[in-house]
Structure 1
Amino acid sequence: MESRTSLTQLLETLDEANGGKTIRLQDVVETFRSRGFGPLITLPALIALLPTGAIPGVPSLCGMFITLIAVQQLCGRRSPWLPKKLRERGVSHAKLHRAVAWARPWTQRIDKLLAQRLTILQQPAAHRLVAVIVMVLALGMIPLELLPFAAALPALAITILGLGMAADDGLLLLVGLLVTLGVAICAFWLW
């Protein structure tokens, strides 16, 4: 198995790459390019999963962004493309540095759990299937925004699936698919 850069190392690379400047979303895409679509699916899903997901409009925006990324994965793009307005959006290096410092203990824990395994689930056909599932979950976040914290259920499944893609961890993808099944059962039961 090839050695992969850890999530912590990727965040630290992003933090060190643009010392003192604004970090654009395009810089994030370029830093995470080796991880494919996983990080760009995981980050907005986390935003919707955390208490920030209770802010009106946040789950819908996250769901639309995730859908944009998942459609590109479904179409077979090798790396994500973002519209120019989105590519140029950014955050100050100071804010990013604080966020990386806050996230480091969490990413170090996550890095210990992730491994390249069940590689059969890392084939292009499997990633396209995951992209379809992620799109359905992300679009489902939009109407669920009307119910407090309801969008957190699909956001949890998307977060796990995104981490599985980012780490080439087929076992985590399998766990994400099981969580998705649980979300689907909950949705069916509520209707």
Structure 2
Amino acid sequence: MPANEPSLGLTDILVKLADEPDGDELSLVSVVETMQGRGFGPLLLAPTLMVLLPTGAIPGIPTLSALLIVLVAGQLVLGKRTPWVPGRLRQASFEREKFRAAVARVRPWTERIDRLLKPRLRALTVWPFNRIGAALCLLLAAAMVPLELVPFAAAVPALIIALYALALAAHDGVMALFSLAGMLAAGAAAVHLWL
């Protein structure tokens, strides 16, 4: 992540996604194009928001979002600077008006979250630490696919990934530590359930 990259708040990211791309449909490729150049934090956050907002109830959205998270986090782990999205995923979309309505409903809450975020302990949000977090995001994204079978269950790993993505977007190392602790706790809980 470049040192001169600006920090972004959750509300900024939501408004950009809701208003900037043209057309009646919000596609995953438009999400990538809107967030490109703004760092991996917003790119990682965008698909988690699709799961956490009411759009997450649309069948297939959690799985598509998980695939995009894997693509973005995987490329961050590999040290890529520019994200790449395959053709089939680029075509996935849903109604922009539904997304805009959801953004309007949650905006008072996102503005409160933004007040908690601030650039601090920035070193924890850049290489090599961001690769560790991205690797853990890969595991949580993989868990989202089977969890789609249980209504809104995919929102749990999506929320943890969203917190980490926010930390990257805002260069907030304290939030990064908090979200990494959440990832490790979720991983330990999953191992306990499987054993």
TM class, shorter-length: 0.7 to 0.9
Give the CA RMSD over aligned residues.
3.1
Matched, 1:121 2:98: no
- The alignment's TM-score, normalised by the length of structure 2, stands at 0.77
SS of 1:156's equivalent? helix
Q: Which residue of 2 aligns with 1:79?
A: 82
Q: One-letter code of the match for 1:142?
A: V
- The alignment's TM-score, normalised by the length of structure 1, stands at 0.78
Q: Which residue of 2 aligns with 1:43?
A: 46
Q: One-letter code of the match for 2:119?
A: Q
Alpha-carbon distance in structure 1 between the residues aligned to 2:155 and 2:146: 12
Q: Which residue of 1 aligns with 2:138?
A: 135
Moved more, 155-164 or 39-48: 39-48
Q: How does 1:71-110 map to 2 (within 5 A)?
A: 71-91=74-94, 94-110=97-113
| Count of residues in correspondence between the two structures | 191
Alpha-carbon distance in structure 1 between the residues aligned to 2:41 and 2:191: 27
Q: One-letter code of the match for 1:114?
A: L
Q: Is the 8 A contact 2:53 2:102 kept in 1?
A: no
Structure 2: which 5+ residue stretches go unaligned? none
Q: One-letter code of the match for 2:162?
A: T
Q: Is the 8 A contact 1:54 1:148 kept in 2?
A: yes
Q: Is the 8 A contact 2:9 2:169 kept in 1?
A: no
Moved more, 61-70 or 98-107: 98-107
Look at both structures and tell me which one has the larger radius of gyration over its CA atoms.
1
Matched, 1:184 2:187: yes
Against the structure 1 CA distance between its residues 101 and 46, is the aligned structure 2 distance closer, same or farther, given a 3 Å change threshold? closer
Against the structure 1 CA distance between its residues 18 and 162, is the aligned structure 2 distance closer, same or farther, given a 3 Å change threshold? closer
SS of 2:83's equivalent? coil
SS of 1:124's equivalent? coil
* CA displacement at 1:16 relative to structure 2: 4.6
Against the structure 1 CA distance between its residues 51 and 24, is the aligned structure 2 distance closer, same or farther, given a 3 Å change threshold? closer
